[in-house]
Amino acid sequence: MSREPARTTDVAALALDNVDRLVVGTVRDVHRAAAARAFGATRMIGGRLPESLHDAVATSVYGALSGVLRIGSGSVRALSARGVGTPIESSQFGRTVVSAVNGLIGDELRMLDDPQAIVMSVRREGVDVPISRWQVGDAFRGAGGHLVVFLHGLCENDESWQLGSKVRGSTYLQRVADETDGTPVTVRYNTGLHVSENGRHLDALLAQLVDAWPTRVTRITLVGHSMGGLVARAATNHATAQGSTWQHLVRDVVCLGTPHAGANLEKVAHLGSRVLRFWPASTPFGAILDARSDGIVDLRHGYISTDEWEGQDLTARWGLDRIAAAPLAHAEYHFIASTLGASQKHPLSSVLGDLLVHFSSATGVGRTGPVVDGATFEYVPSAHHFALLNHPAVGDWLIRWIDADHRQDRALAAPAVR
């Protein structure tokens, strides 16, 4: 049974909820902390009466404001339940908003069973493709036996691979379809969930897709941007542990700007939340930073396994060391890194990497050595993190890797010459 589609009224209700929780709540808590300090100097003279009067008025004002927002949120949700409001995913902009919201608080949306919570699915032209032989065959007519699966990054979606297509004149998906034997397949998922959980979902999804594919699947290539690379590795790790079979078809795992050893931005957010908690007046702002999703927190160290976070409050500590996950012995791993500067030693490159991920992390080098032994890496200078979604050099490498496997497979299949 399919869920009712999320509507613009659901988005409005969610916005009101978060204004109440984060904005009003933060202002109220900062006000209380500042007032406590201010009235500390007057207690010796006027006692606690002025402070009590102030607190009563402030509590009344903030309570009334919060009440109005909650009533407004409930009313708007009631309108949505009656079918009022345009389905938010009826436009590309709406789908982009939903994906961004899922990246920020997708774990909370899933817990509340909010209709805006994304469920992992194969996508075609901005809509879900149900995994049945008939519907998959209809969506991928003329499909070959080589699946090239594209996995987007945090707050992105399946349409993010179209970035810059008007300027470039093409996308990775178009090039794979036109220049190789591969069939491009895009997947959308809730990036606010733990990477390990999305890995489990992807394991199940690809197992179903291989069974439903209109022709026999002979090879799979996984291409992940940013978090998508971690999800790809999490899926193969989970599939191996669970005894799945589709991962034996994987010949290449391509990771574009993936924070294998952690993302600097998440580390800064974690450190900032800890620093803000040192002072009572700034503590509420630390709570805002701590409200980030499980998926974002996983990026601090590039977690891909449940064992790395289960039972831990990762917003209250720097984090555990990563647990080694064995790569697929029969697959080639290609890690692509970029930097803002024209070289790795440029000051911008040294400090910011590609803006979100440092060069060493994108190439899979952690504090204890390579994350994946034997992985090869390529470098794109003067390019930011999102440029890797559609870059000519990356496209050329991707086509070359797919063609290399194709030529090798044909050579192995060819009869011996006497």
Q: Last residue of some domain: 87, 110, 130?
A: 87
pTM for the structure as a whole: 0.81
Whether residue 269 lies inside any domain: the answer is no
CA atoms within 13 A of residue 397's CA, in its CB half-sphere:
22
Same domain, 73 and 139: no
Structure tokens at 310: 């289960």
Same domain, 393 and 339: yes
Whether residue 179 lies inside any domain: the answer is yes
CA distance 98 to 76: 17
Structure tokens at 133: 């032989």
Q: Please tell me the total count of domains within the chain.
A: 2
CA distance 94 to 157: 11
* List of residues 6+ apart from 240 with CB closer than 8 A: 247, 326, 328
The full DSSP string for 42-73 is THHHHTTHHHHHHHHHHHHHHHHHHHHHHHHH
pLDDT in tens, the chain (418 residues): 456 778 888 877 777 776 656 555 555 555 455 556 555 656 555 556 666 665 666 667 657 766 776 777 678 777 777 777 778 888 899 999 899 989 888 898 899 888 889 999 999 999 999 999 999 999 999 999 999 999 999 999 999 999 989 888 899 999 999 999 999 999 999 999 999 999 999 999 999 999 999 999 999 999 999 999 999 999 999 999 999 999 999 999 999 999 998 876 545 444 433 433 444 443 433 344 455 678 888 887 777 876 655 555 555 554 445 555 678 999 999 999 999 999 999 998 888 889 889 899 999 887 777 888 889 999 999 999 999 999 999 999 999 999 875 555 544 443 433 3
CA-based nearest residue to 333, from 202, 223, 201: 223
Cα 324 from chain centroid?
Answer: 21
Identity of the residue numbered 96: T
Whether residue 95 lies inside any domain: the answer is no
Residue 80: domain span: 8-87
Whether residue 340 lies inside any domain: the answer is yes
Same domain, 23 and 132: no
Same domain, 50 and 194: no
Whether residue 1 lies inside any domain: the answer is no
Same domain, 212 and 69: no
Sheet containing strand 146-151, edge to edge, reads 127-129, 121-124, 182-188, 146-151, 219-225, 250-256, 332-338, 376-380
